[in-house]
Amino acid sequence: MDILVTGITSRVGQSIDIDKIIELTKANNIYYLVRNTKLKDMKSNLTSKASSNTSHNYIILDFSDTFKLKQFFSEHDKFDFVIWIASEISYTKTYEELYHTNVKPIEMLSSLCDVKNIVYISSIAVYGEKFNKKEMLTEDSELNPTSNYGKSKLAAENIVKTFSNYVILRPSIIIGKNFVFGFDKVYSFIKTGFFFYPNRKARMPLVHVNDLVDSIYFSIELLSTKESYKDIFNVSSANVMQEELVTYVKNRLKKRLITFDVHPFLAKLLIKKELHYLIDQLVLDRQISSNKIISKGFKFKFMWQQGIDEILDTLSNNNTITQ
């Protein structure tokens, strides 16, 4: 069995148990597409855990280098399983920039390789921002991405759907150790003792990274036990009201907090332009349903509070606010 894994050095990828992947896929050869900056640490981590009977091949490759990517897919053109975690998450880059990292590599995989099964990590960003606020978003809800990131993920999804067997996972906001992006800004505001809500009643769909990783294992099992299988699943364990989350963080930090309700337009005037994306995300009122994957037998194991605790521990241990 030849397996391709991308994004193994990402925050999600670092939570993957390689031995579990080997057990589920019966892998003889695993190819990891990685960036050279993290290769050394990742390689030592994998070889310390993984089965000695499996060959681990580390390919240093940047997705923006289409020549090298094409060369790799030309030399390795058959995979029993592809686990595609890699993605560039940005709400400030143009679609053209994101196309080269989030779409083009999937296009090349589709056109150059024979792939039996693929698990693709997408995003709830494909649903966009224009929807009925009372609607529980399901896998059948309209796809209308408004951000360039969401558009790039939807374009990639449409390519994945051309494969013979696939599972597309749409995780909500991922929480857990090291997932500080966005939360670090909220953390810093709360530590000042003042917090303004652009929409305190907005619900934030959350999922612990370990639940997302378990959904990847679950997807591999579904694909392994069926001759033909195609499906899409939302992966979100809780829809938490913004006010409830901020109150939880405040209590955890043992801070007195003065809060204000501020119109999103005014809120953007109060912070740096590069943080405007955060206001846009805080305004969104989204409820995500994961009933479909649950109906297949998947079980969420982690409470949202545990994920937030791990984020707070990361931030406090670093003693700094890191993007």
For the chain, give the secondary structure using H, E and C: CEEEEECCCCCCHHHCCHHHHHHHHCCCEEEEEECHHHHHHHHHHHHHHCCCCCEEEEEECCCCCHHHHHHHHHHCCEEEEEEECCCCCCCCCCHHHHHHHHHHHHHHHHHHCEEEEEEEECCHHHHCCCCCCCCEECCCCCCCCCCHHHHHHHHHHHHHCCCCCEEEEEECEEECCCCCCCHHHHHHHHHCCEEEECCCCCEEEEEEHHHHHHHHHHHHHHHHHCCCCEEEEEECCEEEEHHHHHHHHHHHHCCCCEEEECCHHHHHHHCCHHHHHHHHHHHCCCEECCHHHHHCCCCCCCCHHHHHHHHHHHHHHHCCCCC
Residue with more model confidence, 263 or 251: 251
Across the chain, what does the average pLDDT equal?
A: 89
Average pLDDT over residues 150-177: 97
Please state which of the ranges 154-158, 190-194, 306-310 shows the lowest mean pLDDT: 190-194
What local confidence, expressed as pLDDT, does residue 282 receive? 77
What local confidence, expressed as pLDDT, does residue 322 receive? 35
pTM, whole model, 2 decimals?
Answer: 0.91
Which of 72, 65, 62 minimizes the C-alpha distance to 38? 62
Going by their DSSP bridges, the two strands 238-241 and 203-208 should be labelled as: antiparallel
pLDDT tens, residue by residue, 195-217: 888 888 999 999 999 999 999 99
- Beta-carbon-side half-sphere exposure of residue 35 (alpha carbons within 13 Å): 14
- The answer to whether residue 321 scores a pLDDT higher than 50 is no
For 7-34, give the secondary structure using H, E and C: CCCCCCHHHCCHHHHHHHHCCCEEEEEE
Please state which of the ranges 93-102, 200-209, 236-245, 314-323 shows the lowest mean pLDDT: 314-323
What local confidence, expressed as pLDDT, does residue 261 receive? 87
Tokens of 163: 């494969």
- The answer to whether residue 218 scores a pLDDT higher than 50 is yes
- The answer to whether residue 5 scores a pLDDT higher than 50 is yes
Tokens of 272: 């740096």
What local confidence, expressed as pLDDT, does residue 45 receive? 57
- The answer to whether residue 176 scores a pLDDT higher than 70 is yes
The CA distance from 321 to 187, in Å, is: 8
| Sequence-distant (≥ 6) Cβ neighbours of residue 142 within 8 angstroms | 127, 131
Q: Which domains does the chain have, with CATH numbers?
A: 2-174+205-237+286-300 (3.40.50.720)
Which of 138, 165, 168, 139 minimizes the C-alpha distance to 153? 168
What local confidence, expressed as pLDDT, does residue 123 receive? 97
pLDDT tens, residue by residue, 123-158: 999 999 865 667 899 999 999 999 999 999 999 999
pLDDT tens, residue by residue, 36-89: 655 556 655 565 555 568 888 988 888 888 899 999 999 999 999 999 999 998
